[in-house]
Amino acid sequence: MAKKKSSDYKASNIQVLEGLEAVRKRPAMYIGDTAQRGLHHLINEVVDNSIDEALVGHCDQIQLTINKDGSLTVTDNGRGIPVDEHPKLKLPAVEVVLTKLHAGGKFDKSSYKVSGGLHGVGVSCVNALSSEFEAEIHRDGEIYVMGFEFGKTTTPLKKTGKTDKTGTTIRFKPDPKIFTQTTEFKFDIIADRMRELAFLNPEITIELIDEREDEDNGGRQETFHYSGGVRDFVIYLDESRDPMMDEPIYIEGEVDKVPVELSMQYNKSFTENVFSYVNNINTREGGTHISGFRRALTRSLKSYAEKNKIIKPNSKLSLSGEDFRQGLTAVLNVKVPEPQFEGQTKTKLGNSEVQSAVEVVVYEKMNEYLEQNPKIAKQVLEKVVLAAEAREAARKARQLIQRKSAMGGGGLPGKLADCSINDPEHCEIYLVEGDSAGGSAKMGRNRSFQAILPLRGKILNVEKAKINKILENNEIQAMITALGTGVGHGDEEDFELDKLRYHKIIVMTDADVDGSHIRTLLLTFFYRYMKPLIERGHIYIATPPLYRITASRGQIEYAWDDETRDKIIKELRKSNKKFDVSRYKGLGEMNPEQLWETTMDPETRTLQQVTVENAAAADKMFSTLMGGDVEPRRAFIEKNAKYATLDI
């Protein structure tokens, strides 16, 4: 890059604007996508700066408001963005932070900043992608404001009054020309992330207020503050599970400038729920910190078991790492000065020094805990043994599935109506509730690329069953063989995504209570045992219509909600036509043509893709919906009745 003379004022200005133009030209490169996820990522970019202030002890209050006009305001009580002149660029520092790419973070290398993580592109990207952007800064007794449109300054920095506080307020309105799918902020998506941040940073209080007043949004408000930090996080995650301990284990330590914090508890369920965070970023793909944790856990429990002769040295049982994590809920929170993120989604920690840091801290404290709590230690190890036995039984069940499929015609389940082409990328499978709907779907489908698997009766609730029982279930076996991937929930298991036979797996159930129950059971199964299918966007929900309106001369209209139905009726009345409205009670009531037209024809159908925005929130949802306790489930459904969507 050519060096600039200090007189090149304008030139450097233009360069700054070009920087943001690049963001507007290729927004997905900076924020991942321009759909719902990218839209909400804007909020994270702003809040991350406030969190950075909190990490260095200068901020403990963050307030988010979704405004009536759809814009969003974030206020913090940090130091306020500096306003003094940037020595090189000769611009107010705040202007540099808000208009210069990658200048979002601090000038000083603050130790564990969030920025530099998953996207960490800085608040200037938010500015670039907003039709309105305002900053108000309280600093050194003065109030400053600055305004922008599409990243370009419209109100240069000016003083507007006096203050005795410090902090930053940023209000932005996403540009609908960039966010063409939606500019509507979702309270629940924001709330899930803010709750997570509040658990990870116990000193902070985050307030979220929705001031919109339309039918679907508005009137909600929630405050997140958890003085117990990750301990509270574990208790929250396990609300619908039966814990085996009075309170979660809490471990804290620091090795080589890497602070490690862990809370964990065993519960009576059979699923593993370990969430890990690096500088407040959910490391979904794991990494060195997770390896360190796993090694420490396995080593400490194994050596305790041997020392106390809980597992006989000559026992035939071979224990595998995953056996030690069945029914474990844990939150691992580490801070890494210069994190290296790798993997498909850049959420896998690569720093090798972190493995031993976590391992050392956890191993030592785990040993102490086990020595001090022999009764719990014994119960946990008994559970580990049961897990190993279930795993062995599951291995046999898997073999059985394989043998069964080897005997059947072509190895596929008998009730599967397969498609004729075999290029997975273009193949779809409909998982259909009940035989009669299955029949209509078989007749209505395009058999070249659409396969139908009718599922009979109730699917097993995998939240409450052991892996071997799950694999013995007929419906689940049929699904596994049809899909071709095998099952697994950890990395030691044999789930093979590249064997997937259909790239679209479409769950098609009735639009009633039973249907939604079956859909939830299926999604729970996929989430717990075939998670990559969800993560890679292979799972969809079909949306059959609720009403059919038949008018004279063979005119047929469909409505997916009451509002559309009423609109159609109004139109028909206006034109004096006779008509008949019927409500579909189940898929089975639709004839094959109707089913094709409304729900299966790729040209006209709408599919909802199932995605997981927030892993902790998804776990919470599934454990609450499918878990053992009735009370939390009822409370959850009542609270979320209006908002709960399965595709969170």
498 catalytic? Reply is no
Choose the catalytic residue: 69, 512, 562, 566: 512
CB of 49 vs ligand 0RA, minimal distance in Å: 3
Judged by beta carbon, residue 135 or residue 615, the one nearer ligand 0RA is: 135
- 8's CB contacts (< 8 A; 6+ apart) are none
| C-beta closer to ligand 0RA: residue 50 or 65 | 50
- 310 burial (CB, 10 Å; 0-12 / 13-18 / 19+) is middle
From 23, 34, 43, 53, residue interacting with ligand 0RA (rule: CB under 6 A): 53
Pair 544, 587: CB distance under 8 Å: yes
Query: Which of 97, 487 has the CB closer to ligand 0RA?
Result: 97
Q: Which stretch binds ligand 0RA (CB under 6 A): 71-79, 500-508, 577-585, 619-627?
A: 71-79
Binding pattern to ligand 0RA, positions 99-118, x when CB under 6 A? -------xx-----------
Stretch that binds ligand 0RA, among 35-43, 75-83, 419-427, 508-516 (CB under 6 A): 75-83
Nearest to 351, CA basis, from 103, 56, 32, 117: 117
| Nearer residue to ligand 0RA within complex by CB, 168 or 509 | 168
Is there binding between residue 357 and ligand 0RA (CB under 6 A)? no
The CA distance from 454 to 434, in Å, is 6
Considering beta carbons, is residue 94 or 500 the nearer one to ligand 0RA?
94
Which residue in 46, 51, 200, 166 sits closest to 112, CA to CA? 51
Based on CB atoms, which residue is closest to ligand 0RA, 97 or 507?
97
Provide the minimum distance between the beta carbon of 25 and ligand 0RA in the complex, in angstroms, as a whole number: 24
Query: What is the distance between the alpha carbons of residues 147 and 177, in angstroms, rounded to a whole number?
Result: 19
Which of 326, 44, 35 shows the shortest CA–CA distance to 196? 44
Stretches 79-87, 300-308, 330-338, 511-519: which one binds ligand 0RA (CB under 6 A)? 79-87
Residue 81 in the binding site for ligand 0RA (CB under 6 A)? yes
Q: Are strands 341-342 and 607-609 parallel, antiparallel or unpaired?
A: unpaired
CB of 435 to ligand 0RA, least distance (A): 58
Task: Quote the CA–CA distance of 634 and 379 in Å, as a whole number.
Answer: 30
551 vs 556: CA distance, rounded Å: 6
Q: How many CB atoms lie within 10 A of CB 86?
A: 17
Q: Does 151 bind ligand 0RA (CB under 6 A)?
A: no
Q: How many residues does the chain have?
A: 648
List CB contacts of 100: < 8 A, sequence separation 6 or more: 16, 19, 89, 124
Which residue among 97, 189, 390, 500 contacts ligand 0RA (CB under 6 A)? Answer: 97
Site residue total, ligand 0RA (CB under 6 A): 14
Bridge partners of 547, per DSSP, are 559, 583
Tell me whether residue 95 or residue 475 sits nearer to ligand 0RA (CB atom): 95
Stretch touching ligand 0RA by CB under 6 A, among 78-86, 193-201, 478-486, 540-548:
78-86
* C-alpha to C-alpha distance for 269 and 266, rounded to whole angstroms: 8
x/- mask, ligand 0RA, residues 168-207, rule CB under 6 A, reads x-x-------------------------------------
**Beta strand pairing status for 328-334 and 258-266?**
antiparallel
Out of 34, 44, 49, 217, name the contact with ligand 0RA by CB under 6 A. 49
- Candidate list 31, 51, 118, 123; residue touching ligand 0RA; CB under 6 A: 123
Task: Tell the smallest beta-carbon distance from residue 279 to ligand 0RA (Å).
Answer: 16
Q: Which 3-state string (H, E, C) describes 325-336? A: HCCEEEEEEECC
Least gap, CB of 19 to ligand 0RA (angstroms): 17
> What number of H helices and E strands is found in the chain?
19, 23
**Least distance to ligand 0RA, CB of residue 185, Å:** 18
Q: What angle do CA 225, 228, 234 make, to 5 degrees?
A: 100
Q: Is 79 in the site for ligand 0RA (CB under 6 A)?
A: yes
Residue 512 bears catalytic tag: yes
d(CA 202, CA 595): 52
Quote the CA–CA distance of 608 and 17 in Å, as a whole number: 38
Q: Is 50 in the site for ligand 0RA (CB under 6 A)?
A: yes
Which residues on adjacent β-strands are paired with residue 275?
A: 331
Residue with tokens 């409304």, as numbered in its chain:
598
Closest separation in Å from C-beta 254 to ligand 0RA: 24
CB nearer ligand 0RA, residue 79 or residue 220: 79
Find the DSSP H helices in 459-512: 467-472, 474-483
- 125 binds ligand 0RA per the rule CB under 6 A: no
The percent helix, strand, coil of the chain (3-state, each to 5) is 40, 20, 40
CA distance 185 to 40: 7
The token duo for 565 is 């139905």
Q: Which two tokens stand for residue 572?
A: 């028909």
Stretch binding ligand 0RA (CB under 6 A), from 72-80, 189-197, 413-421, 617-625? 72-80
- In the complex with ligand 0RA, the residue whose CB is nearer, 124 or 329, is 124
Catalytic residue among 48, 95, 136, 433, which? 433
Asked if 200 contacts 614 with a C-beta cutoff of 8 angstroms, the reply is no
Structure tokens at 381: 């190890």
Residue (53 or 463) nearer to ligand 0RA, CB: 53
238 catalytically annotated = no
- Cβ-based nearer residue to ligand 0RA, 82 or 424: 82
Based on CB atoms, which residue is closest to ligand 0RA, 31 or 81?
81
Minimum CB–partner distance for residue 208 and ligand 0RA (Å): 16
Nearest-approach distance from CB 50 to ligand 0RA, in angstroms: 5
Q: How far apart are CA 475 and CA 411, in angstroms?
A: 15
Active site residue 510: yes
Cβ at position 78, least distance to ligand 0RA in Å = 4
Residue 76 in the binding site for ligand 0RA (CB under 6 A): yes
CB of 52 to ligand 0RA, least distance (A): 7
Residue type, 29: M
The β-bridge partners of 139 are 142
Distance in angstroms (rounded) separating the CA atoms of residues 519 and 507: 7
Residue 98 beta carbon to ligand 0RA: minimum distance, rounded to whole angstroms: 9
Give Cβ neighbours of residue 38 (< 8 Å, ≥ 6 apart).
27, 28, 31, 32, 179
Interface residue with ligand 0RA, options 78, 116, 122, 488 (CB under 6 A): 78
Catalytic amino acids? 433, 510, 512, 514
Binding-site ranges for ligand 0RA (CB under 6 A): 49-50, 53, 76, 78-79, 81-82, 97, 106-107, 123, 168, 170
